[in-house]
Amino acid sequence: MSKKVFPVSQQQLEKIIEKYPTPFHIYDEKAIRLNMRRLFKAFAWAPGFREYYAVKALPNPRILQILREEGAGADCSSLPELILSEKAGITGERIMLTSNDTPADEFQKAIELGAIINLDDISHIEYLEQNAGLPKIMSFRYNPGSIVGGNDIIGKPEEAKYGLTRKQLFKAYKIMQQKGVGRFGLHTMVISNELNDNAFVATAKMMFKLAVDLKNQLGISLEFINLGGGIGIPYRPEEHEVNLEAVGQGIERVYKEILVPAGLDSTEIAFESGRAITGPYGYLVATVLHEKKTYKDYIGLDASMANLMRPGMYGAYHHIVVVGKEDKPCTKIYDITGSLCENCDKFAINRNLPEIQIGDRVVIFDTGAHGHSMGFNYNGKLRSAELLLREDGEVELIRRAETMTDYFATLTGFSGSIM
């Protein structure tokens, strides 16, 4: 079981709202720092353990700065993410560019920063060389195909657009050897939001065996093996969190069984966790605007799918509490909705909650990853602010809310006052 507790009192929340109107996302700095330390401790046995935080999960430079201070690097998939990482003080081989269908300017910026480039396709070798040159260290993303299952978020590997087949992988490394590249890494990403501890050990075992084959056939001693992300979080209160300590011990066991006897005992292990690091420590705070009674009972918030896409996109569960009513019985059944002109704009369907009144504050949990970052402007909705609950208890604005001026700023041939 996972206990869902909002780290802000009702009284403190009302003071925050006086300054920063709802909706907004707020992140718990102390919890994020402690969680990052837990991950590093679980892999303290591994030589040079690396965590490349998946910037796409929460692309805010203030958050990236905090994670850098705790030892993390950055996993990037676009030019803006590379620049965000740079602004947060993350440079060099603490950045890994793992993009796909990659334009030249992304490769060029990665080379400029000295980042590790993780190629998604064998055809990208020539494109990279022609448009940006070859880096000192090269990694490739492995797609194992049907030997590994998938899920609704990441899809089945054999149907995914990501990565190289085994045959392509060996050919790609050989090409890079012939081009004079002498430093190599290996990467995969085959699971997403996984709660089964054994799944991560199985991925490690698959990748370690592949690393031994690369050494035996091509003479490559990999500098690192990036096992991807995919560590899930318990969105539902009845779910259990991943046991990072058990995962670390399991991967250590197969490391010693497979890599050490092959002379690969200095190979570093890396993850690119995003959701697992910040996801549980972000919260979307909203205010109840309306109650609609037709065939069902609907509660309308001032937030919408534009602020949190996951429930509408994936049918994902996010826990919801009504502030001040956490201990009251859940005697009502509601659909919790936003105001978009889309029927999928629902945070919850048939959810048992306490009786709700207009003006109540609602907290939606586990929005610290793929929450604000997946926002959009459909229906002219403006993206919300992001706040940081600092370790000292103060609240810091780390991204202001969008305004209509922002919304209209990119239009051409548009004149006159907005308001």
Instruction: Give the residue numbers annotated as catalytic, written as ranges.
Output: 341
User: Is 10 within a domain?
Assistant: no
Encode pLDDT of 259-281 as tens digits.
Answer: 999 999 999 999 999 999 999 99
* One-letter identity of residue 362: V
- With cut-offs at 50, 70 and 90, classify the pLDDT of residue 99: confident
Q: Report the pLDDT value the prediction gives residue 415, as an integer from 0 to 100.
A: 63
- DSSP code at position 222: -
Q: Report the pLDDT value the prediction gives residue 148, as an integer from 0 to 100.
A: 57
- With cut-offs at 50, 70 and 90, classify the pLDDT of residue 417: low
- DSSP code at position 343: T
Distances (CA, A) of 367 to 3, 43, 87, 285: 16, 26, 24, 10
Q: Which residues contact 232 (CB under 8 A, 6 or more apart)?
A: 192, 193, 194, 195, 242, 275, 276
150, pLDDT greater than 70: no
Tokens 């940081």 -> residue: 388
Last residue of a domain, one of 239, 261, 279: 279
- Same domain flag for 166 and 232: yes
- Same domain flag for 219 and 337: no
- Same domain flag for 219 and 334: no
378, pLDDT greater than 60: yes
- With cut-offs at 50, 70 and 90, classify the pLDDT of residue 413: confident
Last residue of a domain, one of 279, 304, 334: 279
Q: Report the pLDDT value the prediction gives residue 153, as an integer from 0 to 100.
A: 47
Helices (H), 4-78: 10-19, 29-42, 61-69
Encode pLDDT of 19-44 as tens digits.
Answer: 999 999 999 999 999 999 999 999 99
User: Is 21 within a domain?
Assistant: no
14, pLDDT greater than 60: yes
> Token pair for residue 227?
């096992």
User: Is 22 within a domain?
Assistant: no
pTM of the model: 0.94
User: Is 322 within a domain?
Assistant: yes
Q: What is the CATH number for 386?
A: 2.40.37.10
- With cut-offs at 50, 70 and 90, classify the pLDDT of residue 88: very high
Q: Answer yes or no: are the C-beta atoms of 52 and 83 closer than 8 Å.
A: no
Q: How many residues are there in the chain?
A: 419
Domains in the chain, number:
2
- Same domain flag for 227 and 369: no
Last residue of a domain, one of 255, 279, 303: 279
- Same domain flag for 272 and 286: no
User: Is 174 within a domain?
Assistant: yes
Rounded-to-integer distance, Cα 237 and Cα 96, Å: 34
- Same domain flag for 338 and 383: yes
Encode pLDDT of 39-66 as tens digits.
Answer: 999 999 999 999 999 999 999 999 999 9
The share of the chain scoring above pLDDT 70, in percent, equals 96
Return mean pLDDT, the chain.
Answer: 95
Q: What is the CATH number for 242?
A: 3.20.20.10
- Same domain flag for 250 and 399: no
The average pLDDT across 127-155 equals 82
Rounded-to-integer distance, Cα 83 and Cα 327, Å: 45
419, pLDDT greater than 70: no
Domain that holds residue 206: 29-279
- With cut-offs at 50, 70 and 90, classify the pLDDT of residue 152: low
149, pLDDT greater than 60: no
